[in-house]
């Protein structure tokens, strides 16, 4: 079942590859799929699907000039789902075969009522988008070249500043093939490459140690990581670490905060994006529940979830229910327009599917999940926004954070930040945390930059124990009040 290392999927149709990789080895054809779906639909259920998946992944890690760890994994299987009303029955198997599918179908149909409508839909293939080339990143370099890539980024980082005392770098990729067969006859397939390179450096000066990190990736192969890209990552990591050598303890208290563009959009993702997912709103547990058509943000604030951006980490040709992804406007000029939906929640809320049904693997149920979530441009120059600050914090980059979906309250740590007075960046600070409420913060946005940027391709989102790759983005933003900066200085 394994794919040869030399295999190049670049010129293959996703359906052809999915059928060759997932169905043919088990002698599964359209008649067999129809048989299995028909067994489920003999009972009164609203929806049924089969989700086939094959994936290969690897990870390499370098520390102190030595590749100290490496992993390689192959996985495949099928998930079988039946939905009746709000109830879902789900079974999965790592054995792709007709007997395993039949057994799973028998397990799932128990939620339906006897005497169903059967299955009469004619199978049809719906082509998805073509946002990325279906190349296998694992096969794009041999093992020696992968190690050399990590060694090169380490050498570059050390050459940038003599105070660099330690460099840790990692390289990871995944090649995934999926096939979706639904009870309504819909058939969809996708071939998904994904890779990422990360670097973390530690600098030391007069006994003081600080660290910085950078990296990126997307839906392409290792050829993306050119010398210029490696230099960019290394320079960002070293510059961040060196800046923190001069950083002072962060001030504390409520103050004006300016968020930088790009990766700080993770705050938007966590504090606001999750609250716009359909399941939380259907159940009434989101702070945005029942507020369609109402003002939820300051004028000028427009938030979209866009799964159609070429080569982006969060993008998909189809979601994990076989629906094409799309650009969904969630908030427009401050007014709530809609939610992120999968098929189950869209049906129960009597609204349109948005192509956001996502799952970690065949062993997980799909749910509404973000793809690339971003705030669109405003009209202000970034320098103008900084100059407008009398006193406050400029958060250039973020680390981790937490959010409570029901209340919207969040806590985020700033990886790089500056204290600002009278429009001037006075000094860098460390140890700053931002504490606030997502829905409230949206209403306090007073200036929106014209420099919207996407993150470099490093985001992973967790929800209900499932992790999926995502993207974020935003322009520079000024937030007046409502944010408390937690720090160690008075």
User: By three-state DSSP, how is residue 329 classified?
Assistant: strand
- Picking from 456, 443, 451, the residue whose alpha carbon sits closest to that of residue 482 is 443
Treating both helix axes as pointing N-terminal to C-terminal, what angle do 98-108 and 30-41 enclose, rounded to 10 degrees? 20
C-alpha R_g of the chain: 24
Q: What is the DSSP string of 376-433?
A: PP-SB-HHHHHHT-SEEEEEEEEEEEEE-TTT-EEEEEEEEEEEEETTEEEEEEES-E
Q: What tokens appear for 59 in the block? A: 């990870």
Q: What is the pLDDT of residue 482?
A: 78
Specify the higher pLDDT residue, 462 or 122: 462
Q: What is the pLDDT of residue 477?
A: 97
Q: What is the pLDDT of residue 343?
A: 96
Cβ neighbours of residue 165 closer than 8 Å, sequence gap 6 or more: 202, 203, 204, 209
The Cα 71–Cα 330 span in angstroms is 39
The Cα 330–Cα 354 span in angstroms is 11
Inform me whether the pLDDT recorded for 297 exceeds 90: yes
The Cα 40–Cα 75 span in angstroms is 26
Using alpha carbons only, give the angle 45, 46, 51 rounded to the nearest 5 degrees: 90
Q: What mean pLDDT value characterizes the chain?
A: 92
E strand or H helix at 279: helix 278-282
Burial bucket for residue 395 (CB in 10 Å: 0-12, 13-18, 19+): buried
Cβ neighbours of residue 70 closer than 8 Å, sequence gap 6 or more: 58, 59, 60, 61
3-state helix, strand, coil in the chain (%, to 5): 25, 40, 35
- Picking from 334, 346, 329, the residue whose alpha carbon sits closest to that of residue 281 is 346
What are the b/e assignments for 303-319, b being 16+ CB within 10 Å?
bbbbbbbeebbbbbbbb
CA dihedral 349, 354, 360, 362 (to 10 degrees): 80
Could you report the per-residue pLDDT of 300-355, keeping only the tens digit for each? 999 999 999 999 999 999 999 999 999 999 999 999 999 999 999 999 999 999 99
- Picking from 431, 69, 373, 96, the residue whose alpha carbon sits closest to that of residue 248 is 431
Q: What is the pTM of this model?
A: 0.93
E strand or H helix at 112: none
Give the start-end residues of each E strand in 183-326.
Answer: 186-205, 208-218, 248-249, 253-254, 256-259, 303-306
Q: What is the band of 17 on the pLDDT scale with cuts at 50, 70, 90?
A: very high
E strand or H helix at 153: helix 143-160
Q: What is the band of 10 on the pLDDT scale with cuts at 50, 70, 90?
A: very low
Q: What is the band of 399 on the pLDDT scale with cuts at 50, 70, 90?
A: confident
Inform me whether the pLDDT recorded for 12 exceeds 90: no
Q: What is the pLDDT of residue 315?
A: 98
Q: Are strands 335-336 and 357-358 parallel, antiparallel or unpaired?
A: unpaired
Lowest mean pLDDT among 4-18, 35-49, 155-169: 4-18
Q: What is the band of 43 on the pLDDT scale with cuts at 50, 70, 90?
A: confident
Inform me whether the pLDDT recorded for 198 exceeds 50: yes
Bridge partners (DSSP) listed for residue 166: 202
The Cα 477–Cα 490 span in angstroms is 25
Q: What is the pLDDT of residue 11?
A: 54
- Picking from 407, 369, 378, the residue whose alpha carbon sits closest to that of residue 259 is 378
Q: What is the pLDDT of residue 3?
A: 43
Cβ neighbours of residue 482 closer than 8 Å, sequence gap 6 or more: 254, 436, 437, 440, 441, 443, 444
- Picking from 281, 378, 288, the residue whose alpha carbon sits closest to that of residue 331 is 288
**Residue 26 has what DSSP assignment?**
G
Q: Are strands 256-259 and 391-403 parallel, antiparallel or unpaired?
A: parallel
Inter-residue contact 432 to 250 (CB < 8 Å): yes
Q: What is the pLDDT of residue 4?
A: 41
């Amino acid at each position: 079942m394994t794919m040869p290392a030399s295999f190049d999927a670049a010129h293959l149709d996703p359906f052809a590859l999915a059928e060759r990789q997932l169905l043919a080895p088990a002698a599964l054809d359209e008649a067999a799929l129809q048989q299995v779906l028909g067994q489920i639909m003999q009972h009164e259920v609203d929806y049924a699907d089969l989700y086939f998946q094959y994936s290969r992944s690897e990870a390499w890690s370098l520390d102190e000039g030595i590749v100290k760890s490496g992993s390689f994994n192959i996985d495949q299987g099928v998930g079988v789902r039946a939905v009746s009303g709000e109830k879902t029955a789900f079974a999965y198997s790592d054995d792709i075969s007709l007997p395993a599918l039949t057994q799973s179908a028998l397990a799932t149909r128990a939620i339906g009522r006897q005497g169903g409508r059967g299955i009469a839909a004619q199978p049809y293939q719906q082509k998805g988008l073509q946002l990325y080339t279906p190349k296998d990143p694992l096969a794009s370099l041999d093992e020696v070249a992968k190690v050399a890539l990590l060694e090169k980024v380490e050498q570059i980082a050390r050459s940038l500043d003599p105070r660099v005392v330690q460099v840790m770098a990692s390289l990871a990729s995944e090649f995934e093939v999926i096939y979706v067969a639904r009870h309504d006859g819909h058939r969809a397939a996708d071939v998904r490459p994904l890779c990422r390179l990360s670097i973390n450096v530690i600098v030391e000066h007069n006994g003081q140690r600080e660290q910085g990190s950078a990296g990126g990736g997307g839906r392409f192969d290792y050829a993306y990581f050119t010398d210029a890209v490696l230099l960019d990552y290394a320079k960002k990591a070293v510059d961040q670490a060196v800046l923190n050598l001069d950083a002072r303890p962060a001030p504390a208290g409520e103050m004006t905060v300016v968020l930088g563009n790009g990766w700080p959009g993770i705050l938007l993702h966590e504090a606001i994006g999750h609250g716009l997912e359909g399941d939380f709103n259907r159940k009434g547990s989101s702070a945005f529940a029942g507020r369609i058509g109402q003002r939820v943000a300051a004028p000028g604030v427009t938030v979209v979830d866009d799964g159609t951006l070429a080569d982006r980490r969060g993008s998909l040709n189809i979601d994990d229910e076989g629906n094409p992804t799309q650009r969904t406007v969630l908030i427009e000029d401050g007014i709530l327009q809609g939610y992120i939906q999968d098929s189950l929640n869209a049906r129960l809320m009597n609204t349109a599917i948005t192509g956001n049904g996502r799952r970690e693997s065949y062993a997980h149920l799909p749910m509404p999940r973000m793809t690339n979530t971003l705030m669109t441009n405003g009209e202000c120059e970034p320098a103008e926004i900084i100059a407008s600050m009398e006193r406050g914090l400029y958060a250039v980059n973020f680390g981790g954070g937490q959010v409570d979906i029901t209340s919207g309250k969040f806590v985020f740590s700033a990886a790089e930040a500056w204290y600002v007075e009278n429009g001037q960046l006075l000094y860098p600070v460390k140890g700053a945390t931002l504490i606030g409420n997502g829905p409230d913060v949206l209403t306090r946005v007073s200036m929106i930059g014209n420099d919207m940027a996407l993150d470099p391709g490093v985001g992973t989102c967790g929800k209900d124990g499932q992790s999926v790759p995502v993207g974020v983005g935003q322009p520079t933003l000024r937030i007046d009040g409502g944010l408390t900066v937690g720090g160690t200085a008075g």
